[in-house]
Amino acid sequence: MSSPIVLGIETSCDETGAGLVRDGRLLGHAVASSMAEHARYGGVVPEIAARAHIDALRPVIAQALADAGLRLSDVGAVAVTAGPGLSGALQVGVAGAKALAHALDVPLHGVHHLAGHVAADTLEHGPLPDPCMVLIVSGGHTSLVLVRDLATEPVVHLGDTLDDAAGECFDKVARVFGLPYPGGPAIDRAAREGDPHAVAFPRPLTGPGHDPYAFSFSGLKTAAARWAERHTPAAPPPVADGAAALQEAVADVLTRKAVTACTDHQVRTLVVVGGVAANSRVRALAEERCAAAGITLRVPPLRLCTDNGAMIAAVGDLLVRAGAEPAPPTLAVDPSAP
Ligand code: KG4
Ligand code: ZN
């Protein structure tokens, strides 16, 4: 007997996502983004994000169902991001998920947003090996975690960023460079025309005596801003070179530490997830270094790297199949979930 079809709902930031998963297989999904509405503020405005989720949630669920060729009555369980994320934004998804689960009389599961990013990869590459090392790199997180079984065992946290997340560093430096929001993809595009060795940006926390699994990107952000400020309107900074050099520094630090973590813990598989996993240089350098170290690299396809509902449905599906206890009808959002 096959397990129920799980509807996953994601509203933790500026993407409204819905996805349908059964037995580890992605049946359909849809995403709407309020990114354009935040662009002129240079960052996500929580109030705007929450309102956009209210407008988008029903159409996005309908679109995901249509994509899968399913009807709402086919849904056998609902999974929703409970945290971490923006409080008002999370509330919209959780309220919607509760209403749906109640109306359909199906179980509800609260999902950790980062577990979603990890599970995204299973939709493309199958179940994760036990153990595997996961580098989570997004706009809000930069973490190295050792994963055994996502549904039943807590992950082991090896390290986090001490200040800015890698995506945040890209977003903030892009602004200084005069590139559009969101900065990560803009830096990636600009870097194609640049020389990664044109500027020697620092590689924070990589020297001897530093925590091998801790990250820091705020110094790198400042170094990039200083470099841009040294130029004048008459002789503007060669932004492509700055972008390429910054991207090289971030990719170098991320992949070096991730491969070290694998080697130290004798883990043979590295999974790189989150929005920054979409970065072309991060992907290429991870590929190169994993191959050299005999480590299998897994990176979800681009469309599943950034926030989406399919990844939340993927965790819901794992929970359902592991026989996890459903969430109570009082499920609360947890904006600062650890
Ligand atoms: O995972 P995500 O969609 O949302 C969070 O949970 O944060 O990640 C968004 C982050 C943003 O900082 C964005 O600039 C970055 O991922 N990003 C990229 C690329 N695409 C998205 N950073 C570098 N290169 C990219 N191609
Ligand atoms: Zn995310």
Q: Which residues pair with 22 in a beta bridge?
A: 25
Report how far residue 160's alpha carbon sits from residue 272's, in angstroms, rounded to the nearest whole number: 14
Number of Cβ within 10 Å of residue 104's Cβ equals 17
For residue 157, give the amino acid letter.
Answer: H
Over range 21-29, report the average pLDDT. Answer: 98
Name the average pLDDT for the chain.
96
Identify the pLDDT of residue 263.
Answer: 98
- % of the chain with per-residue pLDDT over 90: 90
40 vs 100, more confident? 100
With b for 16 or more beta-carbon neighbours within 10 A and e for fewer, the 42-51 pattern comes to: ebbbbebbbb
Judge whether 5-120+305-321 and 127-299 match in fold: yes
Give how far Cα 61 sits from Cα of 64, 100, 174, 293, Å: 5, 11, 33, 42
Query: Model confidence over 32-53: pLDDT tens digits?
Result: 999 888 888 878 899 999 999 9
* Centroid of ligand 1 to alpha carbon of 218 (angstroms): 17
Report how far residue 229's alpha carbon sits from residue 161's, in angstroms, rounded to the nearest whole number: 26
Give how far Cα 137 sits from Cα of 40, 141, 306, Å: 24, 6, 10
Whether 230 shows a pLDDT value over 80: the answer reads yes
Identify the pLDDT of residue 233.
Answer: 85
Strands 15-22 and 108-112: unpaired
Ligand 1: which of 138, 172, 187, 188 to mutate, most ligand atoms within 8 Å of CB?
Answer: 138
Identify the pLDDT of residue 12.
Answer: 97
Judge if the beta carbon of residue 185 lies within 6 A of ligand 1: yes
How buried is residue 108: exposed, middle or buried, by Cβ count under 10 Å (0-12/13-18/19+)?
Answer: buried
Which one is the CATH code of 127-299: 3.30.420.40, 3.20.20.105, 3.40.50.300, 3.40.50.970?
A: 3.30.420.40
Report how far residue 180's alpha carbon sits from residue 183's, in angstroms, rounded to the nearest whole number: 6
Judge if the beta carbon of residue 140 lies within 6 A of ligand 1: yes
* Centroid of ligand 2 to alpha carbon of 236 (angstroms): 34
Place of tokens 């595997």: 132
What is the secondary structure of 192-222 as a DSSP string? TTS-TTSS----TT-STTS-TT-B--HHHHH
Above 0.90 for ipTM, yes or no? yes
Q: Domain limits of the chain?
A: 5-120+305-321, 127-299
Query: Model confidence over 134-187: pLDDT tens digits?
Result: 999 999 899 999 999 998 998 999 999 999 999 999 999 999 999 998 899 999
Q: Which CATH architecture has domain 5-120+305-321?
A: 2-Layer Sandwich (3.30)
